[in-house]
Amino acid sequence: MRDEGQLGLLEMTDDPSRDRPLFFLTNRMNLNTILGSRLIAPREAYQKYYADLLDLTPRWVPLLTTPPAKAQLDIVTAERGSGSAVVVELSGDVGNREGSLPADGVVYLHAAKIADARAIHFPDERSLREHRARVYGNVHPHDDLLRVTPELFSGDGVELAIASPRETPSPDWRRIDRIRGAASAAVGYATTSGRLALAASLLGGTVDDPGIELPPWLNWAALDDLVHGESEGGTASPDAVTFSAVYDVLAESDIADSWSPGTVLSAVVERVEAASLTDDDLGLVMRNLQRVRQLVDAEVEFEPFRSTTSALLSAKALILVLLRPNLADLLAWPDSETGADGATQLVAAIFAGRLRGSGREDVALRSLSFDDATASWAVQVAAHPGVAAPRIDFVWDGPQVSIAGGAAPEVEPTYGTESGEGAVVVAAAYSELGSRSKAAARLRVARKLGWPVTTVVKVPAGSEVTSDGDVVRVVGVDAVKLVDSISESQFLALAARIRPDQVDDALSAMRQRRR
């Protein structure tokens, strides 16, 4: 049943003040990918995929103008494990945008962003409950979009011929995700006023601070490598070449499949050797990479960086990401232990984001509005494949960043300067706790502030476990134990984004002792 006040299909189509909606039909498992990436993209964009209508339209996204027919519903639920059918309802004006091709009962798009969704419809309460039962760290909260609308799934829709309307080149969706991941990680790094200014400078903002300076080759053009070319204002400096080599190698690596720092480093060396460097510059880079090799092979111990003229920024950042490839772990690494300056930390974050991409990164390290901003960019890229990607024109104003030209209304990548200072206070208080006290303190703070925790159910040996829908029964002699926890890396990542009004509560919870 629908809650009173929710908009159902009949109300929306009968109301002349509303435009006619469009419907993207898929299944519950593919919906997780869509929500993680904030994009409805063609089949080519998926790594893990369950058959739906995208199989019928290579390189295109089909949007229905009416509720789906039974044959279409059967397609999206035929594959084992796909879950129930799901309909993403989009604003009708999506079909009027550049690159869309209307046909009989279908509008074909290159891609669409989930920010244009009006609602996400499920056929019944059970399927919605199944969706809500699973929480994924890479999916932003979206309860406001969820609806139960049985009439959309009656199967009474008109049978349609659905196929790609014409041949079109496909952009490199994996690389698009990796570019978005690199940019998102740069924003995720910006948790203090100084870091904000560095991220602003990278993303194209004008920063009125003579103390903030990045190398000329480190800019948005260096991150956008869909069409390879020389960075704006850049030259083939040793640092720029090293950055490009690392950036390229990480785009082709996938930590979810395998992770070998030595293999990554060898690939970086090959690319540097193939670059156009003078003998002196090549020697400088190789000496830096030899130091990286010694650390990776544990021939020498890692020590905080010292300021030297021969140490390349990109090589130091490579060391950090090879030692801590996970972005949360990297950002939680205290400055006092790394000795890294702001620019080195920023580049290391970019490398970590490049390695994982945007769609799979934990939302604790991502900004929803910034994700939607880069999703807007991705939709533009999809409409113009094979062409240099349009630059995102970021306009920076303190902690606010917006995109020129109306690609996205307003983006708030961080909570601002005060939040960054509060994060430092909380992190410092946490570091002063004894090792035996930290786990309990993390849990107290998480519960106080409503942060997510992991609950492990310990079932005694010999117990009989059965399930019926959302009810699990355990029959045994000994009691079941529930153990809640939050990992240190997740705690520190969330603490880095603590709001100013949460700091006192966090400190109070941290100081509490079990009675």
Question: What pLDDT, in 10s, does the model give residues 428-485?
Answer: 788 778 777 888 888 889 888 888 877 777 778 777 877 665 566 778 777 777 777 8
In terms of DSSP H, where are the helices of 233-360?
238-251, 261-274, 279-296, 313-323, 327-331, 335-338, 342-356
- End-to-end, the C-alpha distance of the chain in Å comes to 46
Q: Is residue 319 very low, low, confident or very high in pLDDT (cuts 50, 70, 90)? A: very high
Q: In whole angstroms, what is the distance from residue 357 CA to residue 353 CA?
A: 6
Rg (CA), the chain: 25
Cα-based angle 413, 34, 202 (whole degrees, multiple of 5): 30
Phi/psi region, residue 422 (left: phi>0; alpha: psi -120 to 50; beta: rest), is alpha
3-state secondary structure of 514: coil
Which of 47-61, 264-278, 397-411, 470-484 is least confident?
A: 397-411
The model's confidence at residue 419, banded by pLDDT at 50, 70 and 90, is very low
Report which of 356, 3, 305 is spatially closest to residue 147, judged by C-alpha positions.
3
Q: Average pLDDT in the 143-165 region? A: 92
**Percent of the chain whose predicted confidence (pLDDT) is above 70:** 84
CA angle at 36 for the pair 33 and 40, rounded to the nearest 5°: 60
Whole-number pLDDT of residue 99: 75
Q: Residue 130 belongs to what H/E stretch? A: helix 125-133
How far from the centroid of its chain's Cα atoms is residue 131's Cα? 20
pLDDT in tens, 60-105: 999 999 999 999 999 999 999 999 999 999 988 888 877 788 888 9
**Given pLDDT bands bounded at 50, 70 and 90, which one contains residue 195?**
confident
pLDDT in tens, 484-497: 788 887 788 788 77
Beta bridge partners of 63: 107
- Comparison of pLDDT for 438 and 394, the residue scoring more: 438
Cα 288 to Cα 12, 255, 393: the distances in Å are: 62, 24, 34
Cα–Cα distance between 448 and 350 in angstroms, integer?
A: 32
Structure tokens at 124: 């019944």
The partner residues of 146 in beta bridges, in order of sequence, read 120
As a whole number, the mean pLDDT across the chain is 83
What per-residue confidence (pLDDT) applies to 360? Answer: 93
- 92 close to 22: Cβ distance less than 8 angstroms: yes
CB neighbours of 271 closer than 8 A, spacing ≥ 6?
244, 245, 248, 249
Question: CB burial class (10 A; 0-12, 13-18, 19+) of residue 5?
Answer: exposed
pLDDT in tens, 333-352: 998 899 999 999 999 999 99
Residue 170 is encoded by which pair of tokens? 């496909």
Instruction: Tell which wins on pLDDT, 101 or 500.
Output: 101
491/487 Cα distance (integer angstroms): 6
Let me know: does 460 contact 448? Beta carbons within 8 Å: no
Convert the pLDDT of each residue in 203-238 to its tens digit.
776 666 666 778 989 988 889 888 654 434 335 799
Contact partners, residue 3, CB within 8 Å, separation at least 6: none
Q: Are 156 and 67 in contact (CB under 8 A)?
A: yes
| Cβ partners under 8 Å of residue 333, min gap 6 | 320, 324
What is the C-alpha to C-alpha distance for residues 269 and 267, in angstroms, rounded to an integer?
Answer: 5
Place of tokens 């204002």: 233
pTM of the predicted protein model: 0.75
